[in-house]
Amino acid sequence: MIGTETALLLALMLDAAMGEPGWLWSRLPHPAVLMGRAVGWLDTALNRGRHRRFRGILALLVLVIVAWALGAALARISPFGLLDIIVAAILIAQRSLVEHVAAVAQELRTGLPEGRAAVAMIVGRDTAGMDEPAVARSAIESAAENLSDGIVAPAFWFLLGGLPGILVYKAVNTADSMIGHRTERHEAFGWASARFDDLLNLVPARLTALLILLGHGHFVGWGAAIREARQHRSPNAGWPEAAMARCLGVALSGPRSYGGQMRDFPFINPDGRREIGAAEIDAAVRALWRTWFGLCLCVVVLSIP
């Protein structure tokens, strides 16, 4: 039976090499899709009537218990840790993230409408009125945030909790993305999922920021990144975004539109370049690989007896 650190390192390398094979997921439902269906079912079944916050807590408990039990069962039957490697590789999204972010740069070079269409695949804000710098900022912010949510955090929870840990994290993260919004329907019901997701990402987000800075030799920028991260609207997303902004020398965040309503968010690294485009997105893609390499290096160090 191989150790958890070795299994994680192999999973990181397998995901980086293969990504999301279309031939497989066109025939089978992806685990993230199954998690989404489970969240959708709980939303339909429980998100009604009175006491919606309590019902949301109950939905979260069901998700966590089922995910943990499934992970424990898979770990028990995993021959030599093979299932650990495969499942972790499926739930870590380095290659997929790189491909989606790189596609925005490629399409932006073709034209602004193409760039808007590509970035709309990875962000939830309004894209129709974006200019080139706004498209680039959106792509870089998505790269930074999903580097934490999609790679570092799953790896972190796999190290701490094995298959149960990574499955619980992904289930909660999926719930947050679906019902953790401050809308009339989900503000009460999704409260528990949103808060628990914040808690699970507390350490990984800060670790991601540290890995980004170290990967670019910018450890001296840690103090500035901390100050700007604390001003971000999200308790966690601001950390990798602030680190990425510092390392690339660009200004991120700033005003943007959601649902046709303009929101006046402050800039992160406001003195950074604002007239940015495809070249800066390319730099963000390179930062994703530098951080991935740094994460692999950390896992190797942890595996040393």
* Strands of 153-215, DSSP E: none
Q: Which residue in 179, 170, 187, 200 sits closest to 42, CA to CA?
A: 179
Contact predicate 207/146, CB 8 Å = no
Q: What is the pLDDT of residue 263?
A: 78
Range of the domain at 230: 4-303
Q: What is the pLDDT of residue 221?
A: 64
Q: What is the pLDDT of residue 256?
A: 80
Q: What is the pLDDT of residue 258?
A: 78
**Total tally of structural domains belonging to the chain:** 1
Ranges of the chain with pLDDT below 70: 1, 220-221
Provide the β-strand partners of residue 112.
Answer: none
Q: Degrees (nearest 5) of the Cα angle 217, 220, 222?
A: 105
* Strands of 133-276, DSSP E: 252-253, 256-258, 261-263, 267-268
Q: What is the pLDDT of residue 22?
A: 84
Q: Which residue in 81, 63, 32, 1 sits closest to 192, CA to CA?
A: 63
Q: What is the pLDDT of residue 220?
A: 66
Q: What is the pLDDT of residue 231?
A: 78
Q: Degrees (nearest 5) of the Cα angle 37, 43, 48?
A: 160
Structure tokens at 75: 């770990």
Instruction: Measure the CA–CA gap between 260 and 280, rounded to whole angstroms.
Output: 27
Instruction: Measure the CA–CA gap between 140 and 117, rounded to whole angstroms.
Output: 15
Global model pTM greater than 0.75: yes
* Axis crossing angle, helix 132-147 with helix 238-248, rounded to the nearest 10: 120
